[in-house]
Chains A and B, each alone.
Chain A
């Protein structure tokens, strides 16, 4: 199996494991949201609110 054939076969094998454009975009938005709002930078009080779903400082 030469290198070109190997690449061709691997490309075929992984084709169905490629994410859709919609998935790609969703993952990117999730990463960017987490990157700009990292949980470790949220105060304890707010973190608690965050976990319980109440988005307010107490």
Chain B
């Protein structure tokens, strides 16, 4: 028996799938992003079809919490299989000076990629509209600790932007 209102899942998918994909892509690169996005939305579907499912107050926080669990499961699975997990790393510095670096988009993208994963993750949550308390719940932090982590991550992003010639305050 279906408990999901007709079209509700599709609506959520349209609204959040590309954001969730971008989150996974920023964690692992493109290879695992598709699988993890599918896993996330399969869990969303299953949860929504569970008897007694009550819609969350904020869908984005709920979906990103599921995405973080999927990411952790993915990391655990890879480690169990003895595989090296290739979290996204900053580009080879030998690329310095290449023409594409002149483009602001590339520079900004690199500034984000150059951050540690936990900084990147927290900024993506913030960008997707999650509140400090929601980020704290996902990461097991207090609301004020989450706020401090966001501020610190923003500062490091800011420094990375400046290093790449992008004015963060423009």
User: Using a Cβ–Cβ cut-off of 8 Å, how many residues does chain A contribute to the interface with B?
Assistant: 25
Task: Assess A1 versus B22: contact at CB under 8 Å? Given A27-B17, A35-B45.
Answer: no
Q: Which residues of A contact B123 (CB under 8 A)?
A: 10
In terms of DSSP, what is the predominant structure of the interface of chain B?
Answer: helix
Whether A24 contacts B17 by the Cβ 8 Å rule is yes
Bound: A17/B41 CA distance, A: 18
Closest CB in chain A relative to B112 CB, distance in Å: 4
Closest CB in chain B relative to A40 CB, distance in Å: 11
Whether A15 contacts B17 by the Cβ 8 Å rule is no
Task: Assess A14 versus B124: contact at CB under 8 Å? Given A9-B161, A35-B46.
Answer: yes
- Given pairs A1-B169, A27-B34, 7 additional interface contacts (CB within 8 A): A5-B170, A9-B168, A12-B105, A13-B108, A17-B25, A17-B30, A27-B38
A sample of 12 cross-chain residue pairs with beta-carbon separation below 8 angstroms, ordered by A number, consists of A7-B127, A9-B168, A10-B112, A10-B127, A14-B109, A14-B124, A15-B109, A23-B21, A23-B34, A28-B17, A31-B13, A31-B38
